[in-house]
A = this chain, B = another copy of it.
Amino acid sequence: MTQLDLDARLAGTANAVPPNAVPANRVGRPLDLTRDADILDAALDVLAEEGFDGMTIDMVAARAKAGKATLYRRWPSKTELVIDAVACMKNSDLNLNDLPDTGTLRGDFIAMMKPAPIRDASQKLRVMAGLVSLIARNPDLAEAARAAVIAPRAEINRRFLQRAIDRGELSADIDIPLVSSISPSMITYRTMMLGKPVDRDYLITVLDKIVLPAAGLGQ
């Protein structure tokens, strides 16, 4: 995550305005850039455990073994730090360019159900849960959360569906955005509303009994 995050920052992809542009050459001790990633990771951990309002700057600083001053030297406020932390989750995702390609829609979806991606998605969902009540009132945060958590997952599903259409497995007139949102919806609801775990069996059930039928592939 550290390396990914750093690369993204240097490439300027994580945020329109990187939180700490590498400064012009000047005298004095330089900013320790590795602290950024530690702090952002700590913020995500605390966010997932406590939610936005339960999270305090002291908790984040303590978990990152940093001083509060170090945090405020890099981000102007708690909200900005969180927006940045959420935006950086984006980079931990699988690359869209090397998605599995098994030849069938079902195979592609199943290939995504590895322990690591499931754990990763679960962490993102916990972070999202801690932000939901703010999202309705903070457009910047909403934007960051959607770009980091919602959009990548939907995009993967969209690509799988489009490929299935292209190879003739699926009818071309299915509602791609709608079908793409089925499994994220089911997973989110089961986690946030029902408080039940999402495991591989559940994912396969959703796939076979809901997603594939909606795509026109009755079993």
Partner of A214, one of B54, B193, B210: B210
B195 and A182: CB pair below 8 A? no
Copies in the complex: 2
Contact A142 B195, beta carbon cutoff 8 Å: yes
Tell whether A188 is near chain B: CB-to-CB under 8 Å. Answer: yes
Residues 184-206 of chain A, each 1 if its beta carbon lies under 8 Å from chain B, else 0 = 11101110111100000000011
Q: Answer yes or no: A53 CB below 8 A from chain B CBs.
A: yes
Chain B residues with CB under 8 A of A129: 132-133, 135-136
Determine the interface band of chain A, counting residues with CB < 8 A from chain B: 35 or more
Contact B130 A133, beta carbon cutoff 8 Å: yes
Residues of A within 8 A of B (CB): 50-54, 126, 128-137, 142, 146, 150, 175, 178-179, 181-182, 184-186, 188-190, 192-195, 205-206, 209-210, 213-214, 218
State the 10 A-B residue pairs at the shortest beta-carbon distance, nearest first.
A51-B133, A185-B189, A53-B53, A213-B213, A185-B185, A132-B132, A130-B133, A210-B214, A185-B186, A188-B189
